[in-house]
Amino acid sequence: MCGIVGFSGTREAAPVLIDGLKRLEYRGYDSAGIAVADGERINVAKVKGYVRNLSEMTHDGADIKGFLGVGHTRWATHGAPNDINAHPHMSSDGRFAVVHNGIIENYAQLREELTAKGVKFVSDTDTEVVAHLLEEYYQGDAKKAVMRTAARLEGSYSLGVVCLDGTGRLFAMREQSPLILGVGVGENYFASDVAALVPHTKNVIYLDDGEFAEITPEEITVYDVRGIPVNKPISRIAWDVEAAEKGGYEHFMLKEIMEQPACFKATVEPRIKDGRIEFESFSLSDEELFGIDRIIITACGSAGYAGQVGRYVIEELCRIPVSVELASELRYRNPIINEKTLLIVISQSGETADTIAALKECRARGARTLAIVNVVGSTIAKLADHVIYTWAGPEIAVATTKGYTTQVAVLDMLAIYLADRLGRLEKSRYDELIVALHDMPGKIQRAIDLNRRVKRLAKRLCRHNDIYFIGRNLDYAVSMEGSLKLKEISYIFAEAYAAGELKHGTIALVEQGSLVVTLACYEPLLEKTMSNIEEVKARGAEVLAVVLEDNRQIVKMADEFILVPRTEPLFTPIAQIVPLQLFAYYVAKERGCDIDKPKNLAKSVTVE
Q: What residues are labeled active site?
A: 2, 603
CA-based nearest residue to 151, from 100, 212, 90: 212
CA 451 to chain CA centroid, Å, is: 25
Q: Is the CB of residue 512 less than 8 Å from the CB of residue 466?
A: no
CA dist., res. 170 & res. 183, Å (int): 14
Pairing of strands 3-8, 68-74: antiparallel
CA dist., res. 412 & res. 313, Å (int): 7
CA-based nearest residue to 500, from 519, 534, 467, 528: 528
CA dist., res. 284 & res. 464, Å (int): 49
CA 334 to chain CA centroid, Å, is: 26
Q: Between 135 and 596, whose beta carbon lies closer to ligand F6R?
A: 596
Longest dimension (CA), the chain: 79
423 φ, ψ to 5°? 75, 30
Pairing of strands 212-215, 220-223: antiparallel
5's CB contacts (< 8 A; 6+ apart) are 16, 17, 20, 21, 24, 70, 71, 72, 160, 189, 190, 191, 192, 196
SS3 state at 110 = helix
CA dist., res. 294 & res. 341, Å (int): 5
Q: Which residues bind ligand F6R (CB under 6 A)?
A: 300-303, 347-349, 352, 355, 399-400, 484, 488, 604-605
CA dist., res. 536 & res. 499, Å (int): 10
The CB-of-560 to ligand F6R minimum distance in angstroms stands at: 24
Q: Between 486 and 520, whose beta carbon lies closer to ligand F6R?
A: 486
SS3 state at 402 = helix
Q: Which residues of 77-116 are buried (b: 16+ CB within 10 A; e: fewer)?
A: bebeebeebbbbbbbbeebbbbbbbbbbeebeebbebbee
Q: Between 177 and 348, whose beta carbon lies closer to ligand F6R?
A: 348
Q: Between 260 and 348, whose beta carbon lies closer to ligand F6R?
A: 348
CA dist., res. 114 & res. 111, Å (int): 5
**Residues found in the chain:** 608
**What torsion do the CA atoms of 50, 53, 59, 60 make, to the nearest 10 degrees?**
0
